[in-house]
Amino acid sequence: MALNNINKKSIAVLPFQNMSNSLDNEYFCDGLTEEIINALARIKALSVTSRTSSFYFKNKKVTAEEIREKLKVATFIEGSVRTSKNKMRITVQMIDTLDDYHFWSETFDRNPQDVFEIEDEISLFIAEKLREHIGHLEIEDKLVEPIDVPVDIYKEYLKGRYYIMKLDIANSLKGIDILKGITEKAPNFLNPYLDINLSYIYMGTLGLLPAYEAFQKAQPFFDKAIELNPNSSRVQLNLSWVESWQNWDLKKAYEHANRALEIQPADDIYLTISNYLTVEGKLDSAQNYIDKALQLDPFSAMNHHYKGFLLYLQEKYNEAIPYLQKALELNPDLPFPPLYIGECFLLTGKHQEAINYYDDLKGVPITDLTQLGGLAMCYAKINDLEKCNEKVVELETYLQSNHIDKAFNFLILVNVLLNNYDKALDLIEQAFENHLPLILLLNTEPIIKPIKNNKRFKSIMLKAIPDNVNYKQKKKYKQTLLNRDEIEKYTKELEQIMIDYKLYLNPDLSLKDLASYLELPTNYVSQLLNQGFDKNFSEYINTYRINEFKERILLEENKDLTIMAVAYDSGFNSKTVFNTFFKKIEGITPNSFVKSNTSS
């Protein structure tokens, strides 16, 4: 990967190595790593690799080049912890991946009882040394807030979290038991409630426990977390999920997700917003958010799955498969990718390959219904009615079970493939009446295409998703494009979008991408730029890039960078285009501008 493409203000914190024989020290090492990741993530201008990708390298020997290539960061932290009864020695090293050298190391000898002070002290040390090395960062006086619980209870909490983060059912249940014990000893300690809720939700989502049972068990712990701190980033993210998947209120879901993002940017929040954009049918915008999630956590199985899922929805089946397969490589127990891998084969005409794939499926529980539903779709597609009906009858037995959502989903898809459109619509209406989340995902499902323009289907979709771009907005477009009032309205909207999202920093930005943010057809946006701004697309975007360059080139932190390095950071990907546009807009060369503004 080209070094120019790596954000200089990016960092990964690798898991601290346990240098003691004690397993308790292992819990502390993981906890310390997580706290430092969370602390650094509070620094707004810093891009911090998420936990999943950092922990992918636990107990692995790595080089600076590997970290640069795999995590795409300019700096990484590694360290170790050795404890005895009265003493803790923590060593920390900071490595520049671009030039491959250790530019800072420190040893901290501290009392193990001062755990919260240690976490904050080390996080601040790292932030300060990073600022000295890469340039200005706004750093708060404290990055780790002390928790009002005894150290012994906090260490027990780290033990519980250690087990639930293994993500299999046996360890998750073991961790939940430990965390439940902590809620009895320290009823006002927020973290255990959030982690128990997270663990149950995860097991329900992945099919490790029946979803209804898992969500029901999670709810009391989430309610207590809301009571303790409604402004926590994790609480806001969970509230967002509730508003979306339980209440079907996407406006409130966005509000909570954006609040969580403001408190502490994280890949799962970007993934969540991508999910909501998908529900609304804004697939191009959804791709932008999942790409950001993958940038922060390139070793997240869920992020790779969702990238593949989006490509599947856009009918880019051959592009989708590698992402879905990568997700399974990272987490073989993830239940979602196999369904879409099989469907990609099926929808590209590889019918026998799809049948063989579902037939040979291993590791996915029978109750997940992927194998059963996948084969039913295959037989429907090749019109093998006898085998298809056999599978349909079996699927129908699950309509009275905890797996009703998945059963309905497969029965709807199978009936569409069989051209039984009225039956499919009847099932969709029943699913809507039962308030099943699958309704929100039907909006963009390729197999549903034959009935998407059906009045019954449109009616259900608009009741479930009132702002559905596939059915509501397309109806209002006129042959005459935009009138004067609409141009004025969308001009303001576009200016705000450019301020909020800084789309121009993406060197590959296209007119189509811009249109996806405004939720307008590309022709309308082309007209808007011409009549509202008196510019074409290139002139409009490059004007923002020139202004960004003018600000960046004068910053102290960029004084050692070349003019073109700053131009690339500002969104340009061509020296010729940059120089041409700069001279056209400013009337002087970039060199002349820099000299006239930096001479003393």
DSSP single-letter state for residue 210: -
Burial zone of 362 (CB within 10 Å; 0-12 exposed, 13-18 middle, 19+ buried)? exposed
pLDDT computed for residue 468 by the predictor: 57
Q: What is the CATH number of domain 484-598?
A: 1.10.10.60
pLDDT computed for residue 365 by the predictor: 60
**Regarding predicted confidence, which is higher, 465 or 183?**
183
Tell me: pLDDT of 97 over 80.
yes
In CATH terms, the superfamily for domain 244-472 is: Tetratricopeptide repeat domain (1.25.40.10)
Highest-confidence range of 148-157, 217-226, 517-526, by mean pLDDT?
Answer: 217-226
pLDDT in tens, 7-21: 888 999 999 999 988
**Regarding predicted confidence, which is higher, 90 or 167?**
90
- At 83, the amino acid letter reads T
Judged by average pLDDT, the poorest of 31-45, 72-86, 342-356, 512-526 is 512-526
pLDDT computed for residue 344 by the predictor: 97
Note the Cα 400 to chain centre separation in Å: 33
Tell me: pLDDT of 392 over 70.
yes
What residues does each domain of the chain span?
A: 3-134, 154-229, 244-472, 484-598
pLDDT in tens, 285-340: 899 899 989 988 899 889 999 999 999 999 999 999 999 999 999 888 788 899 99
pLDDT computed for residue 3 by the predictor: 54
Q: What is the mean pLDDT of residues 416-437?
A: 92
With beta carbons less than 8 A apart as the criterion, state whether 190 and 225 touch: yes
pLDDT in tens, 242-271: 888 878 888 898 999 989 888 878 888 999
Fold of 3-134: Rossmann fold (3.40.50)
Q: Chain-wide mean pLDDT for the chain? A: 87
Tell me: pLDDT of 474 over 70.
no
Domain 244-472 shares a fold with domain 484-598? no
Contacts 24+ apart (CB under 8 A), 323-332: 326/301, 327/301, 327/302, 328/301, 330/56, 330/299, 330/300, 330/301, 330/304, 331/167, 331/301, 331/302, 332/363
- pTM to 2 decimal places: 0.69
What percentage of the chain reaches a pLDDT higher than 90?
42
Question: Of 4, 34, 40, nearest to 131 (Cα)?
Answer: 40
pLDDT computed for residue 479 by the predictor: 44
